[in-house]
Amino acid sequence: MSFDPKAKMQRLQEFWISRASSEQRKGRAGRTGPGVCYRLYAESDYDAFAPYPVPEIHRVSLDSLILQMKSMDLGDPLSFVFIDPPPAASIQTAITYLKEQGALDRRGELTSIGSLLAQLPVDVVIGKMLVLGSLFNLVESVLTVAAALSVQSPFLRSSQHNPDCATARQSLHSNQGDPFTLLNTFNAWVEDLLKDHGLLESNFSTSSDGDRGQRRERLTERKKLHQMKRDHEQQESTKRKVLKMNEGQDEFSSGSDTEKTGRGKKDKKGSGSNVDIQEVKFKLRHNMSELQDAVSVSQDLSSRQQALLKLLLCRGLYPQMALPDEHNTSRKDSDQVFHTKNKQGVVMHPTSVFATDPEVLLVPEEESRDTEANKRESSKHQLLAFVTLLETNRPYLTNCVRVPALQTLLLVANSIDSNADCTRLVVDGWLELELRNPEEALKVLSSALTLRAEWERLLLAQLDHNTSRGESTQGVSRKTTEKLSEGLVRYLMYTEVIYSLRRITALQMQNLYIGPQTESGLSNLKSPGLGSLSPGTEAKPDPIKGGLQVTSFFTYNCLADSRDLYSECLRTFWACPNCDLYMPLTPLERMQHETSCRPAGEQQQEAEPESGQKSSSGMSSLSRVYHCDICNKDLTLTSTEILKHKRQHMYSANN
């Protein structure tokens, strides 16, 4: 198994062993006695072998290693003295990936979530799922899914050709994706286990007498289990294992004395040799009543909870996303093609639920239409979030979950670039979304910015609370978390916007951005109060893309578009649904107002600075210097006051 750091893909391929491995294997022929080693290759091939195997650090992903180095404060990984230094490109790819996951900031320093991920003995994406799931009331489901994704799939490829296996598996399938199928499989397995012990229909909270009786019964059962485990270990320790040859297969069996001893113990203890030691260990590790409660919670997930769980999984897996090919409607099931950011032409793994049911990934014909520019518009575009990209004879996507494209990208993307009226969006430099209605485009983008800011604030507050052990910080209240989860679910499930989705080609990337602008070109873009779109950040010109970098992930009006030349004329009249404001605003001014304006009666829980600093900072963030040519004065006014001032001159001129 090797690893391609550029495509983030594991490769299972054949290769020649090394001379050192060959010598090691030769020693196995004489392990228990004199032997002869037969090598089925020429001596010239042996001489051409590499002297030693390729070091593991050259064959695996370096994400977890770099994260551990950062947590141990070992300095810059690029300058670290490794015994077998990996390629600098692999180290840089791992650093970039950790930045995309939020484990490292832009300077390469460990973030609060990165410090927590470094303490978890799992992959970065699995650990991120666990961290995100702790904020919402989905801990049991997230734990089960994360555990299932961190081990090998229980479904075998050979079972796909067995009709009985396919029929039995059908009841476990979930058209939401493989993680939900694994969740159903685990719940079904635990349910069968509870049925075998007669605990499924039991009521564990009938009365205090019942509780005492059950605790006594549980204690007696655990004593028996411990005794069975000790008897098994003692019996295994007295056996002498002898290597025998039977039709070319090695088998271990007991000696004559041990067999007699084993039979004697079996006669005394009963069916001691028939004990399933793994089942005994499982019963000792788990409380069946608690396991039943956990399964009941996972089985009773509503559609809203499933949507929230899907969003948490997607944010943990991002940027591991795949786009269905536009010609999949004309391909058969096994030939469905998908594209990732760094790898094109991948297919679905045969064990995936989408390999047998690809219709759920297609955009319905009745809910889409083709435009003049050969773009398919619909509100049902979907993407796939995947855990692993594996290449054997073909590159495969494994453990996939489907998500709505527009809503998910706006909530979890690392980079969002827009044109002047926000009808054209480019996500992470490889996906382009075009929205038909400018009004809907502004509304959906503004809602996403607000939800992301609140999500990030609550996540950081929870991490700070856990780090300080509750001494000086206050944790996130359940009411606040439920309010955020409700907003995320409503946005994910009930946002209906017509848009097109396509992958950006290398040729289109060459003329994608307008590039750095002069001060005169930026004067029309600058708007008061931009910093309020993202607390703690200040809008500033992007030195590479152009436009204004409003938040850490959103850059406004940086895409090359002929309409951008007239950005000053894009002010349109708009009525705020929360207040009586009705005036012409640019898209950026409107988003700023929607961020700060709330419905009557809704309380905003924000940290307030001192009163003196609050008024001065409020004026400085909402005001700008405006030179009036008629008055010939420099005035410090807000955007609304500037418009009123202009109207006064227009009214005076007309009279």
In three-state form (DSSP H/G/I as H, E/B as E, the rest C), the secondary structure along 300-322 is: CCCHHHHHHHHHHHHHHHCCCEE
**How far, in Å, CA of 515 to CA of 542, rounded?**
8
Q: State percent of the chain over pLDDT 70.
A: 74
Q: State percent of the chain over pLDDT 90.
A: 31
Q: Indicate the average pLDDT of the chain.
A: 78
Q: Is the pLDDT of residue 225 over 80?
A: no
- pLDDT at position 277 is 74
Is 124 or 214 the better-scoring residue by pLDDT?
A: 124
The whole-number average pLDDT for the span 116-127 is 91
Q: Is the pLDDT of residue 70 over 90?
A: yes
- pLDDT at position 296 is 58
Q: Is the pLDDT of residue 521 over 70?
A: no
**How far, in Å, CA of 655 to CA of 649, rounded?**
10
Asked if residue 63 belongs to a domain, the reply is no
Asked if residue 624 belongs to a domain, the reply is yes
Asked if residue 561 belongs to a domain, the reply is no
Q: What angle do CA 369, 324, 441 make, to 5 degrees?
A: 55
Quickly state the pLDDT bin for 367 (edges 50, 70, 90).
confident
Domain end residue (candidates: 261, 277, 299): 299
Asked if residue 231 belongs to a domain, the reply is yes
Residues comprising the chain, all counted: 655
Q: Is the pLDDT of residue 246 over 80?
A: no
Asked if residue 162 belongs to a domain, the reply is no
* 268/338 same-domain check: no
* 428/490 same-domain check: yes
* 324/223 same-domain check: no
Q: Is the pLDDT of residue 609 over 50?
A: no
Q: Is the dihedral of CA 8, 13, 18, 23 positive or negative?
A: positive
Is 150 or 296 the better-scoring residue by pLDDT?
A: 150
* 335/272 same-domain check: no
- pLDDT at position 256 is 42
Q: How many other C-beta atoms can be found within 10 angstroms of the C-beta atom of residue 19?
A: 16
Asked if residue 408 belongs to a domain, the reply is yes
Is there a cis peptide before residue 51, judged by omega within 30 degrees of 0? Answer: no
- pLDDT at position 29 is 80
Prediction pTM value: 0.74
Residue 110's DSSP bridge partners are: 104
The whole-number average pLDDT for the span 464-492 is 79
3-class secondary structure, 496: coil
Domain end residue (candidates: 465, 493, 509): 509
The whole-number average pLDDT for the span 361-376 is 77
CA nearest neighbour of 166 among 335, 295, 350, 334: 350
Domain end residue (candidates: 491, 509, 527): 509
Q: Is the pLDDT of residue 307 over 80?
A: yes
**How far, in Å, CA of 551 to CA of 538, rounded?**
8
Asked if residue 213 belongs to a domain, the reply is yes
DSSP for 242-292 reads EEEEETTEEEEEE-HHHHHHHHHHHHHHSSGGG--HHHHHHHHH--HHHHH
Is 190 or 518 the better-scoring residue by pLDDT?
A: 190
For 365-369, the CB contacts below 8 A with 24+ separation are: none
* 355/481 same-domain check: yes
Is 603 or 484 the better-scoring residue by pLDDT?
A: 484
- pLDDT at position 448 is 94
* 262/380 same-domain check: no
CA nearest neighbour of 117 among 146, 148, 77: 146
* 370/289 same-domain check: no
Q: Is the pLDDT of residue 247 over 50?
A: no
* 274/341 same-domain check: no
Q: Which residue in the block uniquely carries the two structure tokens 């030691």?
A: 277
Quickly state the pLDDT bin for 297 (edges 50, 70, 90).
low
The whole-number average pLDDT for the span 466-475 is 61
Q: Which of 129-133, 143-147, 304-308, 574-578 has the lowest mean pLDDT?
A: 574-578
Task: Sort residue 125 into left (φ over 0), alpha (ψ -120 to 50) or beta.
Answer: alpha
- pLDDT at position 204 is 42
Structural domain span for residue 639: 619-655
Q: Which of 474-478, 582-586, 614-618 has the lowest mean pLDDT?
A: 614-618
- pLDDT at position 63 is 92
* 325/458 same-domain check: yes
- Reported as a single tens digit per residue, the pLDDT across 420-458 is 888 999 999 999 999 988 889 999 999 999 999 999 999
Asked if residue 542 belongs to a domain, the reply is no
Q: Which of 46-50, 271-275, 276-280 has the lowest mean pLDDT?
A: 271-275
Is 572 or 655 the better-scoring residue by pLDDT?
A: 572
Domain count within the chain: 3
Who's near 516: CB < 8 A, 6+ residues apart?
A: 541, 542, 543, 544, 546
The whole-number average pLDDT for the span 322-331 is 88
The whole-number average pLDDT for the span 630-653 is 73
* 295/316 same-domain check: no
